[in-house]
Amino acid sequence: MRIVVVGGTGLVGARVVRQLEAANHDVVVAARSTGVDIVTGAGLDRTLEGAAVVIDVSNPGYADPADMLRFFEAAGATLLAAGKTAGIAHHITFSAIGAERIGSGYYRGKYAQEALVAASGIPFTIVRSTPLFEYIDAILDAGRSEESVRVPPLSVQPIATDDAARVLMQVALRGPANAIVEVSGPNIYALPDLAQQILTAAEDYRPVLVDVAAPFFGARPGVDALVTGAAVRSDDAGFEYWLQRALAPA
């Protein structure tokens, strides 16, 4: 069974590819750097030929919410049309918990992408995830100044990228659910507390300030919009384990 990982060179995609290859699956990496553009369609027909499964973990690489929405709409339409022509048996997209209820910023683009997938006629699974541990630094960077780090008053339930990648692989091997599957990290934290612990571990002693207007992927989620009661897998990395690995010398 050939599996095409769209965005297979990215943070999530590279880990999905690594895990699939380690389990001896037939994997094709699709990204602009491998000659495939899912907005223009360049290289797509050739890449999808003979494939059974598409895992879409592409991301546009720009921060403006309107540009993101345009990317997810255009790329989704092109990729799904090509998938239909190629007879793809299972299209998997990686989305965000809260996509349907936040409705602004990055989340608007993800919700639009989900709608295209569900209406495509291709058997599908939408995997909605809580934010990745690896994204927390970007959240802190967005609110960082010389004196302090501003973060919004949110609850977060981060998951390690390796664990999310493992779920995506399992979904690909299991077959289409034609539904939304939720995946989350093992624990819920107040983002300001988590931010403080991460800064302290990095010996950065700036204070963390709670600010409802602090940036969060161009959106203002409600306090509990990013958490879920999804079943937790007992072998997933918790915060302390993740932090140790993140801070360990390469």
Ligand X SMILES: NC(=O)c1ccc[n+]([C@@H]2O[C@H](COP(=O)([O-])OP(=O)(O)OC[C@H]3O[C@@H](n4cnc5c(N)ncnc54)[C@H](OP(=O)(O)O)[C@@H]3O)[C@@H](O)[C@H]2O)c1
Using CB under 6 A, list all residues that contact ligand X.
Answer: 6-7, 9-13, 31-33, 36-39, 57-61, 75, 94, 96, 110, 129, 131-132, 135
In the complex with ligand X, which residue's Cβ is closer, 34 or 200? 34
Of the candidates 154, 93, 155, the residue with the CA atom closest to the CA atom of residue 122: 93
The answer to whether the beta carbons of residues 196 and 148 sit under 8 Å apart is no
The least CB distance from residue 15 to ligand X, in Å, is: 8
**Whether 129 contacts 183, CB under 8 Å:** yes
Q: Which residue is nearest to ligand X (CB)?
A: 10
What backbone phi and psi angles, to 5 degrees, belong to 176? -65, 140
Judge whether 189 and 130 are in contact, CB under 8 Å. Answer: no
C-beta closer to ligand X: residue 86 or 96: 96
Nearer to ligand X, 64 or 204 (CB): 64
| Residue length of the chain | 250
Quote the least distance from Cβ 203 to ligand X, whole Å.
Answer: 26
Pick 135 or 209: Cβ nearer ligand X: 135
Minimum CB distance to ligand X, residue 207 (Å): 26
DSSP state of 200: H
Cβ closest to ligand X, residue 157 vs residue 207: 157
> Cβ distance 101 to 225 under 8 Å?
yes
Q: How far is the CB of 183 from ligand X (least distance, A)?
A: 8
Beta strand extents in 17-107 (DSSP E only):
26-30, 53-56, 90-96
| Minimum gap (Å) between residue 219 Cβ and ligand X | 11
